[in-house]
Every structure is written in C-alpha cells, then in structure tokens.
Amino acid sequence: EVQLVESGGGLVQAGGSLRLSCVGSGFTLENYNIGWFRQAPGKVREGISCIHLRNGNTYYANFAEGRFDISTDSAKNTVYLQIDKLKPDDTAVYFCAAEELSGFYPPCQDYNMNFWGKGTLVTVSA
C-alpha cells in the first residue's frame, strides 16, 4: 500500500524550530514531486513548499521564504521540512503529499497531488 507518514510535530514555543519528516513507503519518492501543506484551524489548506526529488529543484510559497526549508534524504525515502522562528500563526496540521510527474501543471498544486499523508499537528504557543 502506498503511504506517506508525517512526523515531528508537537507543541513548541514561539521562536523555536521544528523539523518535520515525511516518509514514503510502497513507492519511491524520487519519482514524484513531494509537497508540504498545512491547514490551520478554521482555514483552508495551503501549500508551503515542494521538491522535485530527481533534480532537487525546490519551490516555496511567498510566506514560506526564509523560515521554511525543504530537503530530502533519498536513502531514507524521506522529505523534511525545517521550520525556524516559529510563530503562533504557524499552528496547523502539516501534510506531505506526492504528485506524479507530468510537466503539464505547475508543481505541487493541491488539486493535483496524488497521495496524501494524514498530517502531523504543530502547535506554537505565544
């Protein structure tokens, strides 16, 4: 079964850092764009960042520039999201998702992702 499992969330104080992990099983992440998304309480899900595993190209939402960094460890079939200088507004469920490569759409659009993890909750206290 194809699975994506996020981990690394938790309760942190504002100004702290977290590194979230997304581990794939049942398929090789290198054949996909892997994206990170988040959904805050009462808000719609939004894209944060994504990475093309085969060439390492990365993409970031405007709000994510600077404080968010996406990376991968292909040997572990894992994609990471480093978050620094956490703010209370970062509180959300963070998801990773995989997109089949096509070239027909901009990468890592929410509507075009093929597989989703169940999310990991990040709570940032003021």
Half-sphere exposure of 97 (CA within 13 A, CB side): 23
Token pair 């990773």 in the structure block, residue: 96
> Distance between CA 79 and CA 20 in Å, rounded?
8
Question: What's the burial of 50, exposed, middle or buried (CB within 10 Å: 0-12/13-18/19+)?
Answer: buried
- pLDDT (tens digit per residue) in 12-28: 999 999 999 999 999 88
DSSP state of 66: T
When pLDDT is averaged across residues 112-122 and rounded to a whole number, the result is 97
Lowest mean pLDDT among 29-43, 78-92, 99-113: 99-113
